[in-house]
Chains A and B, each alone.
Chain A
Amino acid sequence: MNTVSVQNVSMRFGDFTAVNDVSFTVAKGEFVTLLGPSGCGKTTLLNMVSGFLQPSSGKIEIGGNDVTFVPPERRDTAMCFQSYALFPHLSVAENLQFGLKQKKMLPADRKRRLDDVAEKLDLVAQLDKLPNQLSGGQQQRVALGRALTMRPSVVLFDEPLSNLDAKLRESVRLEIRKIQADYNLAAIYVTHDQGEALAMSDRILIMRSGQIEQSGTPTDIYNFPKSSFVADFIGNANILDATIIKEESRNSWLVSTEIGEFLVKSDTAPVAKQLKICWRPENAQHGGAELNSIEARVTHRAFQGNYTDLFIEINGVAQRVQWREGRLEDLTNLSMHIRPEDFTFLEAIT
C-alpha cells in the first residue's frame, strides 16, 4: 500500500499556477525526489504534502487517510527544513524531544527514542549544546534526528543539504539515505541538485513549470530522458535537431543533424520525423570508426580533475565532450565517434 498518494493536485496563487494537476505515489520505504529548477513548484508541492499549504484542487492521502485539509500538526509527517529550523533556545536534546513532548509521550519512552536517534546520528556528545554551538553538518543531523524521533509515516526533506559544503554534502546524503532505509520510511526529497537526486533516490520526479515532466529511476532518467529539458537538466547533454532519413534495420534509424549523419539505435521509436536527439559528453569515444565518426575542433578546455571538459565545434555547431585520459593542453583537433546506442530520441520539433 502507498504511504503517500497525491492525486491531481493543483495550487494557484491568484493568476499564477504553481502546481498543475500533479499526481504521484510514494510507497513505504521508498525514497522519491522532486527535482527541478527554482520556481518549478517542487517546494510548493512538498508544502502541500506537509500541510503548510492547502491545494486549490486535488487530494492528498497519507496512510490511506485523506489529509488534504488536515493542518500540519495533525499529519503523520516530519519535515527537514532547508534552514534546519532548529529552535535556538533549546538544547539539542530538547530539540530532538520537541515533538515527543507534544505527543505527551512518557519521559522513559522519550529518553529511549532520544538515545536511539542520538546514537544513530552520532549526536550523543552534543545533546547538551545549543544549536549555535554546532557545525553545519551537526545541525543538519539534529534536524534529521528531530524528524526521525517522531517515527513518522513520511519524512519530507526541503533541500536539506543546500547549506553544506560539497564534501560534507556527499557524506550527509549517504547518512540520510542509510537512516531512511534503516527506519523503512517513505521519503520525499526536494532538491535542485541533480547529483544529489541521482545518488539518493529510488525514483526521481522531474518537475517543470508546475508539472511532472518525467518520472523514473535515476538510471532510466539519466539514460533515457524523454525531453531535451530532462536531458539537459540531468547531467550534461549535447542536444541536436534531427531528421529521420530512414529506418536502417529493427531499432536502428539513420538520422541527419547539423553535425552530420548518424546511425541511432533505440528501443523506442522516434516520436516524429523531425525531432531532437541527444548524446552525453562522456559517451564520446576516442578515434574514428566505421560508424558515426566525427572530426571536431577544440575551442576551450576545462580541467576537472578526473576528466577534462572539451568544448568543441563540429561544422560550426558547439558541442561538449568529457575526455578522461592523455595530456590535452595542445589538443586542437579531435577525432572521435559516438556509438549508435549512445544517442537518445527526444521530443518532436514543433
Chain B
Amino acid sequence: MKQWLKIGLLLAPGLGLILIFIGSVVYIAIAQSFGYYNLSGESGFSLEHWSKMFDRLSYTRAIGYSLYIGVASAFLAVAFAYPLAIWLRRPFAGSLFISAVLKAPLLVHGLVAAFLYINIISYNGILNQLMQALGFWDGPRRLQNDNGAIGVLILQTWKNMPFALLLLAGAVQAIGDDLLDAAADLGAGPFDRFRRIIAPLAVSATQAALVIIFVGALADFSFQVIAGPVNKQSLSQLMVFFKGYGRWNDAAVIAVTLMGLGITGSGILALFSRFVMRGGRLS
C-alpha cells in the first residue's frame, strides 16, 4: 500500500497536469456536446445537438474538407522531407547551412507565413507579375483562396515539412552506413535500399511525423481563414462560427468530432504507414 502511495505521489505532478488541464477540457467538450453546461438555455442530457449537426450539410462537408487537408498535408510534408533527410544524412560542405535554412519555417508563425504567401500570390503580387513578365500569362490570374485549397496545402507543407525533416533526419542518420552498404552489396539499388532498409527502420519517425502533422492540419484555422477557399469551411472554422453565435453546445459537437477524427485518423495513419513502410506487414 505504501509502495502504491509512493508511486502515486511521484506520478501526481505529471498525471495531475494531464488530468486537470487536458482531462477537464475534454470532459467539458464532451459534456457540452451532450447538452450539459448549456450557457444559453436548459442543461441536461440530450442528443439533439449531435442529431441536428449530422443533418447539416456544412458539417459533413467540413469533415471531408478537414480530413483532406489533414491527410494531404501530412503526406506532402513527409514526402518532401524524406529525400531531404536522406540527402542530408551524411554531412558535406554546406549541409549544416542547408539544414538550418530548411528548418527556418519552424521559426515563422503560421499567420505571418500565410500573409506573406498571400502577398506573393495576390492579384497584383510577385508571382502574377513574374509570370506576365516572363510571357507565360497574358494578364493577372486569381490565385488566392483557390477552390482546391492548394494554397492551404502549400502553406501546411511549407510550415510542417521542417518538423517532419527534424524527425526523419534523426531516424535516417541513426541507420548505419554499413547496413546500407550491406544492402547495396546484396544487390539493392538506391530505391530498394530506401524501400527495404531506410523506410522500415525509420517507420516510427514517419508515424510520428504523419500523426502530429495530421492532427495539426486537421484542426487548421489560420491558414484556412487567410488562404483557404471561400466556399468551404474547415471544422475549426465551423466551430468558431457556432461559438460566435453563442451556440456553445454545437461548437462542442464539432470539437468532439475533431478530437475523435484526430484519434481515429492518427491510428489509421500510423497503421497504414507501418504497413506500407514495412513492406506490407504490421509486425
Contact = CB atoms under 8 A, between A and B. Distances in A.
Interface string B186-219: 1111001000110011000000000000000000
Contacts of B181: 52, 72, 79, 81, 85
A24 interface: no
Nearest to B175: A88
A107 B5 CA distance: 58
Instruction: Identify the interface centre among B187, B189, B192: most chain A CB within 10 Å of its CB.
Output: B187
Contact of B188 (A50, A73, A83, A86): A73
B225 to A, nearest CB: 43
Contacts of B188: 73, 98, 102
Interface residues of B, number: 18
A52 B188 CA distance: 13
Contacts of B138: none
A87 B185 contact: no
A89 B200 contact: yes
Contacts of B179: 85, 87
Given A81-B182, A85-B182, A87-B179, A99 B187 contact: yes
A87 B176 CA distance: 10
A113 interface: no
B186 A99 contact: yes
Residues of B contacting A: mostly: helix
B88 interface: no
A77 interface: yes
Contacts of A89: 200-201, 278
A108 to B, nearest CB: 19
Interface in A43-96: 50-52, 71-74, 77-79, 81-83, 85-89
Contact of A102 (B176, B192, B200): B192
Contact of A83 (B176, B186, B278): B176
B283 to A, nearest CB: 9
Given A73-B188, A102-B188, A87 B278 contact: no
B185 to A, nearest CB: 5
B281 to A, nearest CB: 10
B183 interface: yes
Interface of B: 176, 178-179, 181-189, 192, 196-197, 200-201, 278
Given A73-B185, A99-B186, A102-B186, 7 more contacts: A51-B184, A51-B185, A52-B185, A71-B184, A79-B181, A150-B186, A150-B187
8 closest pairs, A vs B, by CB?
Answer: A99-B186, A102-B187, A85-B182, A85-B178, A72-B184, A79-B185, A89-B200, A73-B187
Interface of A: 50-52, 71-74, 77-79, 81-83, 85-89, 98-99, 102-103, 146, 150
